[in-house]
């Protein structure tokens, strides 16, 4: 994932996904501690490279979580610098500081 502010974007995705930072020095990866989901790698972009930034891909992830985890994930993502865009159950959309989106989706408990 390309980012100008790698630490900020990485903090958002670590929080919302429940991932952990790779402990190796100079590695920007985050990973699922259960090793079931893909590793995410963050690549620093130069803020002055406007042409590249204009054409980069934005990320959109649909994240399905148990009902009892929805608010904790949203709160953690917002605390890490994210912003809620829409909040109408069962789908809530949040964005990181660089415009990448995640929809947190759940099925209501019966």
Domain count along the chain: 1
CATH number of 44's domain: 3.10.180.10
Q: Is residue 6 part of a domain?
A: yes
DSSP string for residues in 16-78: HHT-EE--STT---EE-TTS-S--B--EE--TT-HHHHHHSPP-EEEEE--GGGHHHHHHHHH
**Are the C-beta atoms of 8 and 79 separated by less than 8 Å?**
no
Angle between helices 6-17 and 70-79 (to 10 degrees): 170
- The backbone torsions φ and ψ at residue 33, rounded to the nearest 5 degrees and listed phi first, read -65, -20
Domain extent for 19: 2-105
pLDDT at residue 19, rounded to an integer: 96
Instruction: Name the pTM for this structure.
Output: 0.84
Residue 110 included in any domain? no
Q: pLDDT value at position 94? A: 96
Predicted local confidence at residue 43, as pLDDT: 87
Q: In this predicted structure, what is the pLDDT of residue 52?
A: 73
Task: Give every CB contact of residue 75 below 8 A, 6+ residues apart in sequence.
Answer: none
- DSSP at 4: S
- What are the residues whose beta carbons fall under 8 Å from the beta carbon of 19, sequence distance 6 or more? 13, 30, 31, 32, 33, 40
| Residue 40, domain member (yes or no) | yes
Residue 22 lies in a domain: yes
Predicted confidence pLDDT, tens digits, the chain (110 residues): 889 999 999 999 999 999 999 998 888 899 999 999 999 999 888 888 877 767 676 788 999 999 898 999 999 999 999 999 998 878 899 999 998 999 999 876 65
């Amino acid at each position: 994932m390309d980012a100008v502010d790698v630490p900020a974007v990485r903090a958002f995705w670590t929080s919302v996904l429940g991932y952990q930072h790779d402990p190796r020095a100079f590695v920007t990866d985050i990973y699922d501690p259960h090793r079931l989901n893909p590793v995410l790698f963050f690549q620093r972009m130069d803020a002055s490279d406007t042409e590249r930034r204009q054409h980069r891909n934005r990320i959109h992830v649909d994240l399905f979580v148990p009902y009892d985890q929805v608010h904790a994930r949203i709160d953690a993502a917002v605390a890490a610098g994210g912003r809620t865009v829409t909040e109408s159950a069962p789908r809530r959309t949040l964005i990181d500081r660089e415009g990448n989106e995640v929809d947190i989706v759940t099925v209501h408990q019966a």
